[in-house]
Amino acid sequence: MVNVTSCIIIDDEIPALKLMEQYVSQTEGLRLLGQFKSPVQALQFLQNNKVDIVFCDIQMPEMTGINMVKVLNHKPAIVFTTAYSEFAADAFEVDAIDYLRKPFSYERFTKAVSKAREHLHLKDAWKQEGMRMENSEKKFLTIKSDHKIIKVFFETILFVEAFQEYVKIYTAAERYVTLERMKNMEVILPSEDFIRVHRSYIISKSKVSSLSGNLLQIGEHQIPVSREMKDTVTKLLF
């Protein structure tokens, strides 16, 4: 199964937008979130939405594509699409992943997508490694919940449950809801003490009292174990 990569297209020429839309639709796992004729409109969208790849023309009214990238706080993978070769040096000065000179083929487009995906994969790996290093000596995680910043000590956590774009962190005394991804929680929580037993659950190994069928008992809670993890959990915990 191909992971979904989100993207937007920025170009002030309708034919270019239509061609890029066609290329995106032909590419497995690439999802178009929007297309914009103005960098200013695109900036507003990028401020409020997470985008993996931005395909951007350079010469446009109001603002050039390069200047738009310079003001981004959180930079996606940038692929410039332009009819001009003289902007290549400027493009790579703002860390563009690729530079497609119009007209370009679908094959050339897919190569740019592959480069962008590889960049995103490495960036994610570096981020996760940084999180591991940062949390290797810590005994707690810091979360924002109920308009407060809270320290939750690892030893108090019973389990973590996925909840839409949030997670619920259960302790014996409290339940916290915070904006976080399960993938990140898997990195933050020390692997010697926690294990992901289901797509929606990470549990504390020491808090499990029994296993019945595919249900783990943790205090008053029953936590499902996925079929794929059943043998691993049984061998690891019992």
Q: What is the pLDDT of residues 29-80, one digit of tens each?
A: 999 999 999 899 999 899 888 899 999 999 888 888 889 988 887 889 999 9
123 plus 146 within the same structural domain: no
Parallel/antiparallel/unpaired status of strands 210-212 and 30-36: unpaired
Answer with the one of 76, 111, 132 that is the final residue of a domain: 132
Q: 158 and 107 in one domain?
A: no
pLDDT category at 184 given cuts 50, 70, 90 is confident
Does residue 13 sit in the same domain as residue 127?
yes
Residue from 177, 167, 170 nearest 222 by CA: 170
* Sign of the torsion formed by the C-alpha atoms of 13, 15, 17 and 20: negative
Domain of residue 82 covers: 5-132
Query: 68: which 2 tokens?
Result: 């738009």
Tokens standing for residue 44: 């507003």
Answer with the one of 99, 132, 165 that is the final residue of a domain. Answer: 132
Residues 123, 158 within the same domain: no
CATH at residue 226: 2.40.50.1020
Tell me: do 190 and 224 sit in the same domain: yes
| 19 and 87 within one domain | yes
Strands of the chain, DSSP E: 5-10, 30-36, 53-56, 77-82, 98-101, 140-145, 148-153, 157-163, 166-171, 175-179, 194-198, 201-204, 210-212, 215-218, 221-224
Is the same domain home to 9 and 126? yes
pLDDT tens sequence across 141-181: 889 888 889 999 999 999 999 998 899 999 999 999 998 88
How many domains does one find in the chain? 2
The predicted-structure confidence for 105-129, as pLDDT tens digits, reads as follows 999 999 999 999 988 887 776 666 6
CATH for 71 = 3.40.50.2300
